[in-house]
Structure 1
Amino acid sequence: MPVLVFASSKGGAGKTTAAIVLTCELARQGKDKAIDIALIDADPNQHSAAWANKPGKPKNVKLFGNVTSENILETIEEAQSQAAFVIVDLEGVASTAVIGAMSRADLVIVPCQASQNDAREAIKTIKTIKYSCKVSGRNIAYSVLFTRLSAAIITKTAKALANDFSEADIDLFKCSLIDREAFKSIFSYGGSVYDLEETSKREGASIEKAADNARLFAAEVKQKLKANLDR
């Protein structure tokens, strides 16, 4: 089963938010098809696990929390045997657990805010991915995902960074994860953006747009997986 790894060498890049948004959307799509999604939290901060332990977690999401370098490979194998998609939220350092998880990935997603500092950290993460390629002896697909972008405008910095990644032959998601209050709210209330109308009426204006963003993100993830498998 496909293993999707979220990796960033720094905190605050939107890694866990992106992982949870994708987990919720894949779970929504698989709900009526008896498709399970595995969520592995290998970040010591355990923010993904904290979300999963709140009320509202989709029933077809299986949480594997408190995963460390000692058990991450075994946990990924176990998760693959139980779910159609395995999503791994890694810690923000180039640790043994990170390298090990990357070695099993079908796609590594590198979240990056539209800033020069985040772009430099994304490059560090890509270097770790390439090192994992050498260690594992296999090609590992990866792509940079812009996160926390403004819904109103695309900044000059974002355009310049996109051009820089393109010139460096670094794959970049066409879609971005927009900075929406609905994505932040699920960490407070639990569940997905589809559940927010019941718990926070004032978020109603952004729920539909956040849901559209999640669907576009999941669709592009699936496209990238298919393209990598075809290759």
Structure 2
Amino acid sequence: MPVIVAANPKGGSGKSTTSIILGTTLAAQGATVRVIDADPQRTLARWAEGESKFREIVVTPSQAEDLPLLIDRLQSQFQFVFIDVQGTANQEMVAAMSRADLVLIPMQAKTADAEVATRAIGLLRSQENLFKRKIPHAIVFMRTSPIITTREEKEIRLNIEAAGVPRFVSSLNERTAFSHIFAYKRSLSELNPKETNGLEAAQQNAVSLTAEMVQILRKQMEAVA
């Protein structure tokens, strides 16, 4: 079963948002999912303190079980295991990369974020050298406009393509619903459309990104087979 890691050295890049949106979308579709909150900020652990019916998908590592053992145990029990890690090259990052079937690099379509994302890819390359294997990865653009693509975003996309860095076609747009997930500690499917503008569009956005991720994982499995 696949292990998906969300990693970026920049705080607030969207790692937790990406992890919980993908995790809860898959869970709502009937998949068995666990999301390991290995980031000291514990954003997802706080989300799980709410009343969401999906709150049990979030797991926090304990001192009694180190991260590699936790990943291995959950991977044997659940269809998808996500890991939200701190961006720096620490023990948790190494442990997560050692088990990763796909690394997601969330970033905004901004020049400053692109420079930080380059460091994230550098960290990934160092882990590839350490473990002597290729680690599939892709950039996920965050907080993009669903209406207008800025010139800066177009240039960044072209630069990423020229550099041969994989990226998702789907982006997570700037949507009120994505911030309301944490404000109300609920999944998209549990938010109230009377309180959250554009909820249906946000749900469609999440489904598109999730479907693309699943397709990437399927292609990897077929290539191995």
Aligned to 1:24: 24
Q: Following superposition of structure 1 onto structure 2, how do residues 46-65 of structure 1 map, counting pairs within 5 Å?
A: 46-58=42-54, 61-65=56-60
Q: Following superposition of structure 1 onto structure 2, how do residues 118-157 of structure 1 map, counting pairs within 5 Å?
A: 118-157=113-152
Is residue 201 of structure 1 aligned with residue 171 of structure 2? no
| Secondary structure of 1:11 counterpart | coil
Aligned to 2:71: 76
Shift of 1:67: 5.7
- What is the TM-score when the length of structure 1 is the normalising length? 0.91
Shift of 1:5: 0.4
Query: Is residue 178–residue 213 contact of structure 1 (8 Å, CA) maintained in 2?
Result: yes
Query: Is residue 110–residue 125 contact of structure 1 (8 Å, CA) maintained in 2?
Result: yes
Q: Following superposition of structure 1 onto structure 2, how do residues 187-226 of structure 1 map, counting pairs within 5 Å?
A: 187-197=182-192, 201-203=194-196, 205-226=197-218
Shift of 1:92: 2.1
**Could you tell me how far apart the structure 1 residues matched to 2:21 and 2:77 are?**
20
Aligned to 1:5: 5
1:55-85 superposed Cα distances (whole Å, 9 cap, x missing partner): 11427x53221468x8111110111122110
Shift of 1:152: 2.3
Is residue 106 of structure 1 aligned with residue 83 of structure 2? no
Aligned to 1:85: 80
- What is the TM-score when the length of structure 2 is the normalising length? 0.94
Query: Is residue 2–residue 85 contact of structure 1 (8 Å, CA) maintained in 2?
Result: yes
> Between Structure 1 and Structure 2, how many residues are aligned?
222
**Could you tell me how far apart the structure 2 residues matched to 1:149 and 1:189 are?**
22
**RMSD, aligned α-carbons:** 1.5
**Could you tell me how far apart the structure 1 residues matched to 2:114 and 2:62 are?**
27
| Secondary structure of 1:108 counterpart | strand
**Could you tell me how far apart the structure 1 residues matched to 2:26 and 2:8 are?**
22
Query: Cα–Cα, structure 1 residues 98 and 67, in superposed 2: closer, same or farther, change >3 Å?
Result: farther
| Secondary structure of 2:104 counterpart | strand
Write out the 4+ residue segments of structure 1 that deviate beyond 2 Å after TM superposition: none
Query: Is residue 8–residue 92 contact of structure 1 (8 Å, CA) maintained in 2?
Result: yes
**Could you tell me how far apart the structure 1 residues matched to 2:50 and 2:72 are?**
26
| Secondary structure of 2:177 counterpart | helix
1:83-142 superposed Cα distances (whole Å, 9 cap, x missing partner): 110000011212121122012101000001011111111111111111111111221100
Which ranges in structure 2 are unaligned for 5 or more consecutive residues? none
- Percent identity of paired positions between Structure 1 and Structure 2: 36
**Could you tell me how far apart the structure 2 residues matched to 1:202 and 1:44 are?**
31
Query: Cα–Cα, structure 1 residues 57 and 123, in superposed 2: closer, same or farther, change >3 Å?
Result: farther
**Could you tell me how far apart the structure 2 residues matched to 1:72 and 1:57 are?**
25
**Could you tell me how far apart the structure 2 residues matched to 1:173 and 1:63 are?**
24
Aligned to 1:170: 165
